[in-house]
Structure 1
Amino acid sequence: MALEDLTGIRERVRLRKPRRATLHSWSFHQLGTFIAYKAKRAGVPVVYVDPAYTSQECSRCHHIDRRNRPSQAVFACRVCGFVEHADLNSSHNIAARGWSLWVRGAESQAPALTPTA
């Protein structure tokens, strides 16, 4: 997950009052820091992926169109006809972007670990 995905989530998410309190008390920066720390400790590289348009892009032909999302759950490409669950299609796009960054030699974005005594 890209940290950019979390930008503005408090304004976008609609929840009942008890769930809103939980959401608003959660620090997304802290979550990102924990993920980066754990990844670095385990020797797993972290590459941040720009999530822009991943929900509108076809993971097969890479055509981007807002009309590719006829509903929240369905992705249907208007060019090649590929149909898949919208979240699964987006996850394929994010994985492909991450792989592309990795193959091009992108440096890990995880902060360096500080030695503990």
Structure 2
Amino acid sequence: MATSEQELLGTDLGKYFSEIADKRGKNSEGRNRMHALFRSLLKKTSKDNLAKAERIRKHNLGRKKQRARYIRDIGVIKTVVNRELNFLFTRKTNPVKAIVVEDLSARMKAHFCKKWNRWLSGWMRGYLQERIRYKAKKHGIEVNPAHSSRECPRCHCTDKKNRRGDVFKCSYCG
């Protein structure tokens, strides 16, 4: 998140996303190996192999631990989001007067590798929008999403010419 004073909040979210994505990817690799071993043991119909396959299925291929880990990881991200929003709304210097939120629900147009797609899609756009609106309402602050990516933070000039793709240059104040 960025303020009109060019202050960035939540910059450590990327670190958490990458740690979680790396950990989930590593766990998935291990689960895939166990699943392959399970399938190969099922093809061999000896009693020992079937017993071993059953133990692998019971102790390594369950979803309970995986789901609990996922919920815990999401909780960490939600904590970081809430901490940054609380900092934004309760600070004494430069108090927030208005919030401008762009449409965060749009999907990425670019396609990246699987690891990057996991990072980018896992950032909970809906949760972020909901928390911003909730905390803004709680503190009596207006939320206005209209033309936020075209408005200059210095002079508040809103013009289509201000933005070309990812590049922003105000047509009024430069």
TM over 0.5: no
Larger Rg computed on CA atoms? 2
Higher RCO (Cα < 8 Å, 6 or more apart): 1
| Shorter-chain TM band | 0.3 to 0.5
- TM-score, normalized by length of structure 1? 0.41
Bigger helix share: 2
